[in-house]
């Protein structure tokens, strides 16, 4: 099954984490690969070890691209996205893994760090027993076509609009 969480509302990565939490109950082996995040510390990076060895998070990305605290060059972002891509390729052909989560992968495509064809190739190469989850806004039409389940998070309200910044335990 190919699952996509996209849209401008909050909840895409946390939906994928919730899915991982549920799946560990059945001894499924899950790997989340983070394509963009990496420079910030997110709570799940610590708490995932409590679900180890069933669940692991590999943060490959270098953090925000072009905004906030971005100190990486465009080429460094491309290199790290390609590293994440190569781990994704390896992971989908690893039949000891049941669920592979490609976190923020849609942004990596949107920002031209990797191509849509790269990821469609990963989906094609996926072993028959695996489920793949793709998160990030701007999922492309062809990714949506390839998916079995697509949910669009739509923002109705976000505290950011009131000037409230990211909150520990909620946003990171």
Residues that bind Mg ion (CB under 5 A): 12-13
Q: Please classify residue 168 by burial: count the beta carbons closer than 10 Å to its beta carbon, then call 0-12 exposed, 13-18 middle and 19+ buried.
A: exposed
In the complex, what is the shortest distance from the CB of residue 149 to ligand ATP, in angstroms, rounded to a whole number? Answer: 16
In the complex, what is the shortest distance from the CB of residue 109 to ligand ATP, in angstroms, rounded to a whole number? Answer: 14
Closer residue to ligand ATP (CB): 5 or 88: 5
15, 136 contact by CB (below 8 A): no
| Contact call for residue 110 and ligand ATP (CB under 6 A) | no
Place of tokens 């027993």: 129
Nearest to 54 by CA among 94, 85, 12, 96: 96
| Contact call for residue 121 and ligand ATP (CB under 6 A) | no
Residue range at the interface with ligand ATP (CB under 6 A); choices 19-27, 51-59, 122-130, 150-158? 150-158
Tokens for 17? 């984490």
88-110 burial by CB neighbour count: b if 16+ within 10 A, else e?
beebbeeeebbbbbbbbbbbbbb
- With CB under 6 A as the contact rule, the residue among 18, 47, 155, 164 that binds ligand ATP is 155
Residues forming contacts to ligand ATP in the complex (CB under 6 A) are 8-14, 104, 135, 137, 153, 155, 158, 160, 166, 171-172
């Amino acid at each position: 099954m190919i699952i996509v969480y996209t849209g401008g509302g909050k909840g895409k990565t946390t939906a994928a984490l919730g899915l991982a939490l549920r799946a560990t109950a059945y001894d499924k082996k899950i790997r989340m690969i983070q394509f963009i995040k990496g420079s910030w510390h997110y709570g799940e990076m610590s708490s995932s070890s409590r679900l180890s060895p069933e669940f692991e998070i590999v943060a490959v990305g270098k953090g925000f691209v072009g905004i906030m605290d971005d100190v990486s060059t465009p080429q460094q972002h491309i290199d790290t996205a390609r590293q994440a891509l190569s781990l994704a390729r390896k992971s989908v052909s690893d039949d000891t893994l049941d669920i592979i989560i490609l976190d923020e992968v849609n942004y990596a495509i949107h920002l031209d760090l990797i191509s849509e064809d790269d990821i469609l190739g990963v989906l094609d190469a996926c072993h028959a027993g695996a489920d793949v989850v793709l998160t990030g806004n701007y999922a492309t039409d062809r990714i949506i076509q390839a998916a079995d389940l697509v949910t669009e998070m739509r923002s109705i309200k976000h505290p950011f609009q009131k000037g409230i910044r990211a909150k520990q335990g909620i946003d990171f």
